[in-house]
């Protein structure tokens, strides 16, 4: 497998030419030039309604179809009929939940995490509408010396499965902790348990928003039913892509689109036009990713991305967890492991006698005028308020989130500011 040519990578992002250090990538990445070109070319040359028989209409329809092919590749879906687009991950999950109204019974149980509300709120509202019960897969502490070091254990999830389990909504990667969860192993264990206890029907929804920029999604290998990621956090435009397994489309979801349309594909939950230029733009994401390695395939690309991101993670975590910073009161939120089990999304707080507000730390970075980081709960509200000790959701954590176009030199500049601020 080849390594990344970082000069080539950075040349693909026009916004990076300013020298500004974008370190809030979990909130939204920069946009690749191929994506920008696709949007411009669509709007400038094929901006007509889909389905028309005239030549420009045919070309427009093909470009949007190409966007569906791109999504199927990014999910590794079995068919383009299983994928679609929406305005945001939150709205897509909400549409899924509404389409499930008729297939959820009073007393059914949903298992959710404290992660991003996009994959929590819709299920909580569905449970309220249908008289279902919500159960929480909670984090557990993993480091006695740091009360903010916690993660999820598969066995704790499995213990929640009962004969009434209907939906399990989990995340592939935490947008605060940076931890990657072994979805294939988790799903295998929970399905085995569901079979043992005689659950009627268990479907799994996975939030891949914080995962997709860093690792390859494989919905078939994972054996999941629903999956969503945001293109604007994966070098694309402001929209989201979703996957719904064919069996779920046929047996679980009702159509929530116009009642005179006979729909058996993912369009069941795709209300209105999906933003044609944005769907076409997704083809640019795939083109960009495929261009990064000689193998010209996504597996090679994401392997190279993961390897480079380890070089970004190492100096940042090494600084935040060294003894001097520990004695100062710096506490990593999540695990301190430097390996492929996490991405370079790193959160921390400063505690103790000289505690600092997260917002004050970010304010110091703002004074630098060339580095962008952020503080808050990042919509993983349940994770923050259920931390022990409890974190103030209004102040939350400081989060530094890097991706493969960041450089080691940029990380060293970030660490330099941290060294001064936390002195």
pLDDT, position 260: 84
83 pLDDT tier (thresholds 50, 70, 90): very high
Q: Are residues 12 and 57 in the same domain?
A: no
Q: Are residues 14 and 48 in the same domain?
A: no
**pLDDT at residue 1 tops 70:** no
Q: Are residues 282 and 303 in the same domain?
A: no
Q: Are residues 205 and 266 in the same domain?
A: yes
pLDDT, position 224: 98
**pLDDT at residue 8 tops 80:** yes
CATH number at residue 372: 3.90.1150.10
Residue 153 structural domain = 44-289
CATH number at residue 76: 3.40.640.10
- Mean pLDDT for 234-256 is 96
In a domain, 37, yes or no: no
- Mean pLDDT for 130-153 is 93
**pLDDT at residue 47 tops 60:** yes
- Inter-residue contact 129 to 99 (CB < 8 Å): no
Q: Are residues 122 and 153 in the same domain?
A: yes
106 vs 50, more confident: 106
In a domain, 322, yes or no: yes
Q: Are residues 14 and 155 in the same domain?
A: no
**pLDDT at residue 18 tops 60:** yes
Q: Which of 287, 397, 283 is nearest to 348 (CA)?
A: 397
pLDDT, position 386: 87
pLDDT digits (tens, 9 = 90+) for 90-103: 999 999 999 999 99
In a domain, 208, yes or no: yes
Instruction: Give the lowest-confidence range in 34-48, 256-270, 275-289.
Output: 256-270
- Inter-residue contact 334 to 174 (CB < 8 Å): yes
pLDDT, position 42: 97
pLDDT digits (tens, 9 = 90+) for 169-181: 999 999 999 999 9
Q: Are residues 102 and 251 in the same domain?
A: yes
In a domain, 294, yes or no: no
In a domain, 193, yes or no: yes
263 pLDDT tier (thresholds 50, 70, 90): confident
The domain boundary, picked from 259, 289, 319, lies at 289
Q: Are residues 213 and 66 in the same domain?
A: yes
In a domain, 36, yes or no: no
**pLDDT at residue 2 tops 70:** no
- Mean pLDDT for 381-396 is 90
pLDDT, position 79: 95
pLDDT digits (tens, 9 = 90+) for 391-417: 999 999 999 999 999 999 999 999 999
pLDDT, position 389: 83
Number of domains in the chain: 2
Share the mean pLDDT of the chain.
95
Q: Are residues 19 and 167 in the same domain?
A: no
Q: Are residues 215 and 311 in the same domain?
A: no
In a domain, 181, yes or no: yes
The domain boundary, picked from 289, 310, 333, lies at 289
pLDDT digits (tens, 9 = 90+) for 339-350: 899 999 999 999
Q: Are residues 260 and 336 in the same domain?
A: no
The domain boundary, picked from 247, 264, 289, lies at 289
The torsion angles phi and psi of 411, rounded to 5 degrees, stand at -65, -40
Q: Are residues 320 and 267 in the same domain?
A: no
- Mean pLDDT for 269-287 is 94
Q: Over pLDDT 90: what percentage of the chain?
A: 89
In a domain, 386, yes or no: yes
pLDDT digits (tens, 9 = 90+) for 350-374: 999 999 999 999 999 999 999 999 9
């Amino acid at each position: 497998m080849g390594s990344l040519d970082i000069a080539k990578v950075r040349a693909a992002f026009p916004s990076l030419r300013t020298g500004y250090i974008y370190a809030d990538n979990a909130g939204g990445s920069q946009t690749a030039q191929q994506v920008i070109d696709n949007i411009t070319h669509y709007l400038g040359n094929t901006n007509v309604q889909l389905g028309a028989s005239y030549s420009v209409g045919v070309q427009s329809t093909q470009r949007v179809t190409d966007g569906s092919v791109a999504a199927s590749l990014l999910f590794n879906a079995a068919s383009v009929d299983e994928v679609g687009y929406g305005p945001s991950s939150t709205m897509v999950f909400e549409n899924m939940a509404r389409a499930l109204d008729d297939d959820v019974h009073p007393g059914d149980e949903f298992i959710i995490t404290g992660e991003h509300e996009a994959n929590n709120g819709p299920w909580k509202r569905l449970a309220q509408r249908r008289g279902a019960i919500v159960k929480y897969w909670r984090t557990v502490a993993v480091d006695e010396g740091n009360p903010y070091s916690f993660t999820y254990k598969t066995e704790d999830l499995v213990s929640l499965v009962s004969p009434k389990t209907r939906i399990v909504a989990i995340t592939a990667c935490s947008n605060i902790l940076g931890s990657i969860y072994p979805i294939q192993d988790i799903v295998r264990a929970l399905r085995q348990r569901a079979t043992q206890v005689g659950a009627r029907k268990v479907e799994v929804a996975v939030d891949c928003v914080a995962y997709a920029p860093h690792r390859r999604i494989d919905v078939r290998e994972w054996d999941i039913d629903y999956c969503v990621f945001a293109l604007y956090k994966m070098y694309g435009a402001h929209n989201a892509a979703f996957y719904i397994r064919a069996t779920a489309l046929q047996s679980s979801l009702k159509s929530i689109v116009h009642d005179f349309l006979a729909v058996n594909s993912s369009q069941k939950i795709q209300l209105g036009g999906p933003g044609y230029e944005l769907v076409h733009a997704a083809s640019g994401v795939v083109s960009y990713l495929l261009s990064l390695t000689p193998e010209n395939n996504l597996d090679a690309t994401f392997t190279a991305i993961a390897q480079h991101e380890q070089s970004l993670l190492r100096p940042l975590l090494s600084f935040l967890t060294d003894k001097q910073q520990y004695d100062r009161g710096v506490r990593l939120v999540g695990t301190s492991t430097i390996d492929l089990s996490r991405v370079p999304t790193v959160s921390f707080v400063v505690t103790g006698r000289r505690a600092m507000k997260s917002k004050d730390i970010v304010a110091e970075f703002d004074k630098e005028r060339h580095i962008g980081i952020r503080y808050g709960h990042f919509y993983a509200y349940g994770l923050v308020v259920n931390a022990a000790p409890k974190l103030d959701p209004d102040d939350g954590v400081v989060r530094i989130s890097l991706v493969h176009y960041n450089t080691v030199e940029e990380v060293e500049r970030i660490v330099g500011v941290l060294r001064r601020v936390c002195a």
